[in-house]
Structure 1
């Protein structure tokens, strides 16, 4: 795992308004590990349902120009069903569209965090950072989980995390269980803030303890 950037606690709102955007790179480079990643991501949805008061929107891109977003969903079974229908297709990354969608959601209110899972970056990093800066002004941290060790992706993801006071972590098949714990921790953070994260940490979740160690008090 790479070192995480420091993140700030989200602004508290009523539980009914808490929202988490979960975005995926569904291009062909991720096909070999897609099924495993889909299973891991289901744990985040389960944690969101256990805590309650959290709506999740699934966003994914693939192909030449396909970038889709689901409705806001609170039932993890619906989210799992949506994930099951998504398959990988060849194409370039569309991370800027993901960041723009998060900016729009943040402007509407209630967005606590953006989670992104991907393995590469094929876009202008400065343009991505400009979008990330807009999210930072809206108080939305970005949690970026990088599959593999592509250096360009690592540089871009690290900078987005720094700008938004989020977290960038790399994972592979050997750290799959750690990713599952981190995704659960992000759901707890989005649904319940520091209290939700601390509660998950007391249940023995190592991902929650890792995120807590990087949260800035101010």
Structure 2
């Protein structure tokens, strides 16, 4: 039989706990919010492993991500979609990503965008980052949702692995409609992906001005597409 607690919490203890909880909640609300999303279908395992390592660059000193609160989202398998709690450090995000294994399935980008719009309505997001290589949905539907993101000031940063032409066309259109940016990377350009993630972290924390003094290729790629 479990032992009862040694004493009951007093009204003072409860008030102190509630006050601490509210302080933590207020701190989280003051941080800029960014969704970090990855296609976790079967072909993505190598890139998932790479992203698990590189996403920590978003939290390194000087990236501006100390002021970020991140949510991990992914889809995989048969209609499996996951959205984490809001995370405040790279270690928590890496630990969570390290427990995920990719599974075969179809893309669910529209579902991701609808989720992001709902989150944005509840409390504004600074941006959505998406890493993927495939597209099995209606491009017009995705562009319409991207346009809604643009109207609500939610830019999409779409990072494409590979050279599929139809994916590039749709991702470019979505980025433009949302006021965000598109970039390509491959298994040999992990350094570029790291720069892109770091650039988005800076943008989410400080806006376009935070990128203008950066000299990295990733920052330049984003600046070329972001609206003045």
- TM-score (normalised: structure 1): 0.84
Q: How far does residue 151 in structure 1 lie from its aligned partner after superposition?
A: 1.6
Alpha-carbon distance in 1 for matches of 2:161, 2:220: 21
CA displacement, residues 67-90 of structure 1 (integer Å, 9 cap, x when unaligned): 000111112211111111111001
Q: Select 1:180's aligned residue among 183, 194, 197.
A: 194
Q: How far does residue 123 in structure 1 lie from its aligned partner after superposition?
A: 0.6
Alpha-carbon distance in 2 for matches of 1:173, 1:30: 11
Aligned to 1:215: 226
Aligned to 2:95: 81
Q: How far does residue 50 in structure 1 lie from its aligned partner after superposition?
A: 5.2
Q: Please give the secondary structure, in 1, of the residue aligned with 2:227.
A: coil
Alpha-carbon distance in 2 for matches of 1:208, 1:49: 12
Q: Say if 1:47 and 1:188, in contact at 8 Å, map to a contact too.
A: no
Once the two structures are overlaid, the 10-residue window that deviates more, 51-60 or 207-216, is 207-216
Q: Say if 2:64 and 2:201, in contact at 8 Å, map to a contact too.
A: no
Aligned to 2:216: 205
Q: Please give the secondary structure, in 2, of the residue aligned with 1:58.
A: strand
Q: Say if 1:112 and 1:190, in contact at 8 Å, map to a contact too.
A: yes
User: Which one has a bigger Cα radius of gyration?
Assistant: 2
Q: How far does residue 65 in structure 1 lie from its aligned partner after superposition?
A: 0.8
Corresponding residue pairs, total = 201
Q: How far does residue 17 in structure 1 lie from its aligned partner after superposition?
A: 4.0
**Residues 50 and 140 of structure 1: CA distance in aligned 2, closer, same or farther (over 3 Å):** closer
Q: Say if 2:157 and 2:182, in contact at 8 Å, map to a contact too.
A: yes
Instruction: Indicate yes or no: 2:68 matched with 1:46.
Output: no
Q: Say if 1:45 and 1:76, in contact at 8 Å, map to a contact too.
A: yes
Q: How far does residue 51 in structure 1 lie from its aligned partner after superposition?
A: 4.0
**Residues 159 and 215 of structure 1: CA distance in aligned 2, closer, same or farther (over 3 Å):** closer
Q: Say if 2:126 and 2:155, in contact at 8 Å, map to a contact too.
A: yes
**Residues 132 and 213 of structure 1: CA distance in aligned 2, closer, same or farther (over 3 Å):** closer
Aligned to 2:185: 171
RMSD: 2.1
Instruction: Indicate yes or no: 2:203 matched with 1:192.
Output: no
